[in-house]
Amino acid sequence: MIEAYPLQWPTGRKRTASHSREHAKFDVTFARARDNIIHEVTLLAGGRWAVDPQIVISTNVALRRDGLPLANQRQPDDVGVAVYFLYRKKQMSFACDRWRKIEHNMQAIAKTIEALRGIARWGTGDMLEAAFTGFTAIAAPSAPRDWREVIGVLPTERDLAIVRATYRRRASTSHPDKGGTHEAMTELNTALAAAERELGHG
């Protein structure tokens, strides 16, 4: 099952190095960008009377029940956004981390889907299918490893302070700026979030 938080980046999709990210000129809030994605996917899927496209917008921003960010959150180190939905019974995934803010990466995805709707309207059916080929070829993330295995603590560990200390040591080598990879850091952050859910935030 794909989760909205933390970020579930599509397997096999290349990442943008943090130093290569650009400033975007989008004037949009997180809420507006989220609504734009939902609007564009809903229209692409056939409008509000179509089968539910089961949209999941996955980021490293923790959300409230209403889908808006929890208060006082800064931009996370990994500002990537991945959007998953069903289109004609096929799982689609769009992902963007080109821009320096999460809401700008969300808006870029909304604009991409809007452009694809133009192909659907003005092109031929095979043009849209050809455009979608790359998106359907990217698999959703595989089943995550147990958080204890990822962080590197004993299978019986229940002390959150020890878990966090081990996480910090692992993060010091897994972070892309310190020789690691985005994928390794994302898996580590996902593991810590799972640990905190299970053991309590302490």
Counted domains in the chain: 2
Query: Considering the entire predicted model, what is its pTM?
Result: 0.65
Q: Residue 1 has which token pair?
A: 């099952």
Strand partners, 22: 99
Residue 93 near residue 10, CB atoms below 8 Å: yes
Q: Residue 14 has which token pair?
A: 């290349």
Domain that holds residue 152: 147-199
Verify that 122 and 69 share a domain, yes or no: yes
In this predicted structure, what is the pLDDT of residue 131? 65
The whole-number average pLDDT for the span 40-56 is 83
Angle at 58 between CA 119 and CA 63, to 5 degrees: 130
Verify that 97 and 193 share a domain, yes or no: no
Is residue 13 over pLDDT 80? yes
**pLDDT tens per residue across span 92-150:** 889 999 999 999 999 999 999 999 888 877 766 566 666 666 665 455 555 567 888 88
Comparing 18-22, 53-57, 136-140, 184-188, which segment has the lowest mean pLDDT? 136-140
173 vs 113 pLDDT, higher one: 113
The whole-number average pLDDT for the span 72-80 is 86
Verify that 131 and 159 share a domain, yes or no: no
In a domain, 10, yes or no: no
Rounded to whole angstroms, how far apart are CA atoms 176 and 115?
A: 32
In a domain, 142, yes or no: no
Q: Which of 136, 162, 186 is at the close of a domain?
A: 136
Q: Which of 93, 116, 136 is at the close of a domain?
A: 136
Q: Residue 58 has which token pair?
A: 């996955």
Verify that 46 and 103 share a domain, yes or no: yes
Q: 180: phi > 0 → left, psi -120 to 50 → alpha, else beta; which?
A: beta
55 vs 137 pLDDT, higher one: 55
Verify that 52 and 27 share a domain, yes or no: yes
In a domain, 5, yes or no: no
The whole-number average pLDDT for the span 41-50 is 81
Length of the chain measured in residues: 202
Residue 113 near residue 44, CB atoms below 8 Å: yes
For the chain, state the CA radius of gyration.
Answer: 18
Secondary structure of residue 46 in the 3-state scheme: coil
In this predicted structure, what is the pLDDT of residue 3? 73
Comparing 1-10, 79-88, 113-122, 181-190, which segment has the lowest mean pLDDT? 1-10
